[in-house]
């Protein structure tokens, strides 16, 4: 539990740095695209500014996640993180459409580039800077299991890749194949659209309480069944709440034990599962009496 606020604090910090870094890179790329006439450089600059917006949403979401539950939001603000990831994906769609439109126009009317060496230097710096930032972000996201930061890290890797694609297209265009610059811009647009699709899909599933991790469910069941007093398991239910997992289940215990003993069994099971499963925020175990099926059948005949 002590790592929870630390993880959000680190995630918030790296997202904040990402906002200003990408914004600066995007402005520089757009400025130099006007000088060089490269649509691929323009596309990558717009992409960088769009990614700065993505990091801004992530930064804002992580600030909300750190708020404590209150009377109105009794389960906390954990799903704000998934919601901001969803908004991020929506924002990326018009950005990709605009870049695709500009690239298509450039493809119909190709023109030679100016100061192509300068454009190449800017793209190389943008690509390397985005890659370094993405690796830092992914390390923190994986360490603390922060969904929106994972998506932002993927987006940053895409941003670095698109910069290298734009670099290759400008390099080819500098040798006289002028269509290559427009094709590079189109590829950047496709990269952005693919990230938007993944972001919207994953965040929507979390918001709809979808949970399909059979190995994790089996691991929890194994921990529960290892307890001597457990006779069976009913209704194991798990869902994600932001970066965390919450769940509940009923366990069948010997009907002859006392209520205090049953409560102690439930408490032990909750502690065991939380200690075993990383990222488990809340887990409620409800004990119910176990009835022997043969005894139940005998009683039904007797009545």
42-51, 78-87, 265-274: least confident range: 78-87
pLDDT digits (tens, 9 = 90+) for 97-122: 988 998 888 888 888 888 888 889 99
From the list 92, 99, 89, the residue with the least C-alpha distance to 29 is: 99
Same CATH fold, 214-302 and 3-207? no
- Judge if pTM exceeds 0.85: no
pLDDT digits (tens, 9 = 90+) for 143-191: 777 767 777 787 788 778 888 988 999 999 888 888 898 898 888 888 8
Q: Are 237 and 213 in contact (CB under 8 A)?
A: no
CATH superfamily of 3-207: Cation efflux protein transmembrane domain (1.20.1510.10)
In whole angstroms, how large is the CA radius of gyration of the chain?
26
From the list 188, 99, 95, 206, the residue with the least C-alpha distance to 150 is: 206
Phi, psi for residue 43 in degrees, rounded to 5: -60, -45
Residue boundaries of the structural domains of the chain: 3-207, 214-302
The encoded tokens of residue 141 equal: 């996201």
Considering all CA atoms of the chain, what is the largest pairwise distance in Å, rounded to the nearest integer? 95
| CATH no. of 214-302 | 3.30.70.1350
Q: What percent of the chain has pLDDT over 90?
A: 4
The encoded tokens of residue 124 equal: 């190389």
């Amino acid at each position: 539990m002590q790592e929870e606020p630390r993880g959000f604090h680190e995630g918030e910090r790296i997202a904040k740095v990402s906002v200003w870094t990408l914004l600066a890179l995007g402005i520089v790329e757009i400025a130099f695209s006007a000088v060089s006439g490269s649509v691929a450089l323009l596309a990558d600059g717009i992409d960088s500014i769009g990614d700065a917006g993505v990091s801004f949403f992530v930064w804002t979401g992580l600030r909300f996640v750190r708020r404590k539950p209150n009377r109105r939001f009794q389960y906390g603000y954990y799903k704000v993180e998934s919601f901001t990831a969803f908004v991020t994906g929506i924002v990326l769609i018009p950005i990709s459409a605009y870049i695709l439109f500009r690239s298509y126009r450039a493809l119909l009317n190709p023109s030679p580039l100016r100061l192509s060496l300068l454009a190449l230097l800017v793209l190389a710096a943008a690509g390397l800077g985005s890659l370094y930032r993405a690796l830092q972000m992914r390390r923190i996201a994986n360490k603390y299991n922060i969904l929106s930061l994972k998506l932002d890290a993927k987006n940053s890797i895409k941003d670095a890749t698109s910069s290298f694609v734009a670099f290759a297209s400008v390099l080819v265009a500098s040798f006289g194949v002028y269509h290559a610059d427009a094709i590079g811009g189109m590829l950047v647009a496709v990269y952005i659209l693919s990230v938007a699709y993944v972001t919207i899909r994953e965040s929507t599933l979390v918001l709809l309480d979808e949970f399909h991790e059979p190995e994790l469910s089996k691991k929890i069941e194994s921990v529960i069944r290892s307890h001597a007093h457990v006779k069976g398991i009913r209704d194991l239910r798990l869902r994600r709440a932001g970066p965390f997992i919450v769940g509940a289940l009923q366990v069948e215990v010997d009907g002859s034990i006392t209520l205090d003993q049953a409560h102690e069994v439930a408490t032990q099971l909750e502690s065991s599962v939380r200690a075993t499963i990383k990222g488990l925020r809340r887990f409620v175990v409800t004990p119910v009496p176990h009835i022997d099926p043969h005894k139940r059948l005998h009683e039904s005949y007797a009545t």
